[in-house]
Amino acid sequence: MEIVLVIAIGVLTGSGVWLLLRPRTFQVIMGLSLLSYAVNLFIFSMGRLGLAIDKEPVLRAGVPQDLAHYADPMPQALVLTAIVIGFAMTALFLVVLLASRGMSGTDHVDGSRARDVQEMP
Amino acid sequence: MNAGLTALVEQATSALMPHLILAPIALPLLTAALMLLLREEQQRLKLVLNMLSTALGLLVALALLLWSNQPGATSGMGVYLAANWQAPFGIVLALDRLSAMMLVLTSLVALASIVFAGARWHRAGVHFHPLFQFQLMGLAGAFLTADLFNLFVFFEIMLAASYGLLLHGSGRPRVQAGLHYIAINLAASSLFLVGVSMLYGITGTLNMADLAQTIPLVAAADRGLLHTAAAILATAFLIKAAVWPLNFWLVPAYSAATAPVGALFALMTKVGIYTILRLWTLLFSSEAGASALFGSLWLIAGGMLTMAFGAVGMLGSQRLSHLAGFAAILSSGTLLAAAGFGQNLLTAGLLYYLPSSTLAVAALFLTADLIDRWRNDGASYAPFEQADNAPFLNAELVPTEGLNLDADEEVLIGRVIPAAAALLGLAFLVCTLVIAGLPPLSGFVGKVAMLSALLNPLGLGSSAGTQPGGPGWALFALMVATGLLALIALTRAGIRHFWATHDRVAPQLRVLEGLPIAALLALCIALTVLASPVMRFTQATADALHSPGTYIRAVMQAKPIADPTTPGNAAAPQEAP
């Protein structure tokens, strides 16, 4: 399980960073989204006592109440907050992206009509 | 009379503590929520509300400052247990001298900037006032919280509001700069989250005081991971603090923002400095065992590179607002490099330098706007600075009655101050003196305090035989050199704007625009005149920062308030639902 998660985080982060460095605004926003998914998965993996595999997420009668038998609730709380904030920020970025596209007529991140960027119709 | 008033304020504050700690966060939140309910047409009412709330916030911050500095058994620490949970389990707000000082600074700059905005800029777009208050809320929260994840949340509140404020007025330069600013801050937030979650994974706590207790006990095998986490977290803060090479976003963003927003943003880099100062002295103090003073050289080197970058940037700036942006970078670099030494007297000096440089940079942003407008016949941008038709300040965008921001129309509303040109000139001169660190103003006092601390690390008269090492001499030389470069750059700009021959009419200012600049600079002068008590205060702050035991004890030992409804029944076992 660990290796699957590690590969997922690695691939998401790698693609995210690569997209973040691209010159188009849409690529940048996709990069930021992928990066935030990677971070959210990463937060999950940072629970105490490692990854919670086959552990109860919610209190259940008859299960001893310690971290050895339950998933660490802390990363879940952190991830929930991070997802909400990340979602709001992505939405806001999308609006600015559209404004930039409308004002400059190009989807280049610098809004310049650089030679290597094709003009949008 | 004065002493009686102080005593009265102290009494009132003590009665309200620790609940008053929440006020700097709750007040802007409630004001902003109230203003969201008002229609956009009621700009004037919103402006008045905004000013009142900010002024009230200033009073609260001053009361907290007095409270934190009173000699007594409280050791200047106020702890507020949100939701009444004991320290490591619940979120804690903690007030000490440093946070109180930052709160007062925030309120002062915010008040000046909202008064300035009231003259004209607040009408350039919608929702300026609620965003302004949310920004204040985020700033106050970041200064007060004692929990890392809560710090992240307040950072995001602050940033979300700052995105809106940066875009206020719209127009292509702002949207373009905003795009970059948002992208880099979202990336920084990801780093912040990674760092925070790693710290949690290693230590099992996010409470700053608890972290400080846990870090010396971390197993040797995890030490490298801990340092990685701290470095990732610090990178997020260093982006906020505009350290080179993570600061290329700052100048375009700050200079594209409307002037009052630029002045408020002068505080934002200081948030980065504050968090680094707070967390670094707490987590990696000299008592942190194997991790003591981790990253010190990185802070010093990064700070010095930033100083050099800022000074060279000032030399190369053509526009005044760029000059102000690079001045913010220079001050940020100076503070970081000085903080990296982790030396008591040096920290005291930098804590004196921090408010004075922030006030001066904020005043420079405001002055630059007025000078630009004067130079460009009423417009903020000269015709050549507008590549194509920017819709900013478009009459269609803001159909407000009495609005007159067009370049073509002659008279800007308001009374002409005959001495307007003199005021602008004087303001620019004072900004120059403070930013370049020339006598007799506060910039000089702050720099001398830092230089003297570099030469005499144990204090004047008791440091015989001690020599500042290589980094010490390097910082010494850089501080003098960057002061000189800043002076050259600002003098050149001053000559070009005030002495060059031109056929301009006298600048037309409104009182609302002249007043905040004069007030900010008067504060710099007051800092100079009151240098002795202020230095005593910053020395006490630095002492507290470098012996984090007080902070840790105060936070960890804060007792929740007993439940009044079930006396003596608090320990009763609860039935699981």
Nearest beta carbon to residue A96 from set B175, B200, B201: B175
Distance from CA of A103 to the nearest CA of B (A): 6
- pLDDT of B158: 93
Distance from CA of B161 to the nearest CA of A (A): 11
Q: For residues B545-569, give the mean pLDDT.
A: 78
DSSP state of B75: T
Interface predicted TM-score (ipTM) of this complex, two decimals: 0.90
Helix, strand, coil % in chain A, rounded to nearest 5: 60, 5, 35
Q: CB burial class (10 A; 0-12, 13-18, 19+) of residue B477?
A: exposed
| Range of lowest pLDDT (A116-120, B18-22, B259-263, B544-548) | A116-120
- Residues B117 and B260: their CA atoms lie apart, in Å, by 6
* CA end-to-end distance (rounded Å), chain B: 59
The pair of structure tokens assigned to B530 is 């009151």
Q: Render pLDDT for B162-205 as a digit per residue (tens, 0 to 9).
A: 999 998 887 888 888 888 999 999 999 999 999 999 999 898 88
Tokens 């001045």 found at: B327
DSSP state of B247: -
Q: Which of B281, B268, B262 is nearest to B242 (CA)?
A: B268
Nearest beta carbon to residue A46 from set B172, B189, B198: B198
Q: Render pLDDT for B30-47 as a digit per residue (tens, 0 to 9).
A: 999 999 898 888 888 888
- Residues B416 and B174: their CA atoms lie apart, in Å, by 30
- Residues B229 and B232: their CA atoms lie apart, in Å, by 5
For residue B548, which phi and psi values (nearest 5 degrees)? -65, -5
Q: Judge: B179–A92 Cβ closer than 8 Å, yes or no.
A: no
- Is there a contact between B149 and B196 (Cβ–Cβ < 8 Å)? yes
- pLDDT of B222: 87
Q: Which of B143, B150, B136 is nearest to B95 (CA)?
A: B143
- Is there a contact between B276 and B306 (Cβ–Cβ < 8 Å)? no
Q: Is B197 on the interface with A (CB under 8 A)?
A: yes
- Is there a contact between B513 and B116 (Cβ–Cβ < 8 Å)? yes
For residue A18, which phi and psi values (nearest 5 degrees)? -60, -45
Nearest beta carbon to residue B200 from set A35, A46, A111: A46
Q: Render pLDDT for B235-280 as a digit per residue (tens, 0 to 9).
A: 999 999 999 888 898 988 998 888 899 999 989 999 999 999 999 9
Q: Judge: A104–B172 Cβ closer than 8 Å, yes or no.
A: yes
Please list the ranges in chain A whose pLDDT falls under 70.
Answer: 113-121
Q: Angle at Cα B226 formed by Cα B190 and Cα B343, nearest 5°?
A: 100
Q: Judge: B200–A78 Cβ closer than 8 Å, yes or no.
A: yes
DSSP string, B342-384: --HHHHHHHHHHHHHHHHHHHHHHHHHHHHHHHHTTT-SS-GG
Confidence band of B398 (pLDDT split at 50, 70, 90) = very low
Distance from CA of B251 to the nearest CA of A (A): 15
Nearest beta carbon to residue A74 from set B170, B193, B200: B200
| Range of lowest pLDDT (A25-34, B460-469, B471-480) | B460-469
Q: Judge: B172–A28 Cβ closer than 8 Å, yes or no.
A: no
pLDDT at B572 over 50: no
Distance from CA of B194 to the nearest CA of A (A): 6
Distance from CA of B188 to the nearest CA of A (A): 11
- pLDDT of B419: 72
Q: Is B149 on the interface with A (CB under 8 A)?
A: yes
Q: For residues B474-490, give the mean pLDDT.
A: 92
Instruction: Please give the single-letter amino acid code of residue B201.
Output: G
Domains of chain A: 2-51+69-104 (1.10.287)
Q: Which of B148, B149, B151, B180 is nearest to B163 (CA)?
A: B180
Instruction: Please give the single-letter amino acid code of residue B398.
Output: V
- Per this entry, what is the length of chain B? 577
Q: Render pLDDT for B304-336 as a digit per residue (tens, 0 to 9).
A: 999 999 999 998 887 888 899 999 999 999 999
To the nearest whole number, what is the mean pLDDT of chain B? Answer: 83
- Is there a contact between B148 and B206 (Cβ–Cβ < 8 Å)? yes
Q: Judge: A89–B182 Cβ closer than 8 Å, yes or no.
A: yes
Q: Judge: B179–A104 Cβ closer than 8 Å, yes or no.
A: no
Nearest beta carbon to residue B153 from set A45, A81, A92: A81
Distance from CA of B477 to the nearest CA of A (A): 37
SS3 track for B492-542: HHHHHHHHCCCCCCCCCCCHHHHHHHHHHHHHHHHHHHCHHHHHHHHHHHH
Q: Is B180 on the interface with A (CB under 8 A)?
A: yes
Confidence band of B294 (pLDDT split at 50, 70, 90) = confident
- Residues B526 and B100: their CA atoms lie apart, in Å, by 18
Q: Which of B104, B136, B111 is nearest to B31 (CA)?
A: B136
- Residues A108 and A66: their CA atoms lie apart, in Å, by 52
Nearest beta carbon to residue A93 from set B149, B186, B198: B186
- pLDDT of A114: 53
SS3 track for A3-60: HHHHHHHHHHHHHHHHHHCCCEHHHHHHHHHHHHHHHHHHHHHCCCCCCCCCCECCCC
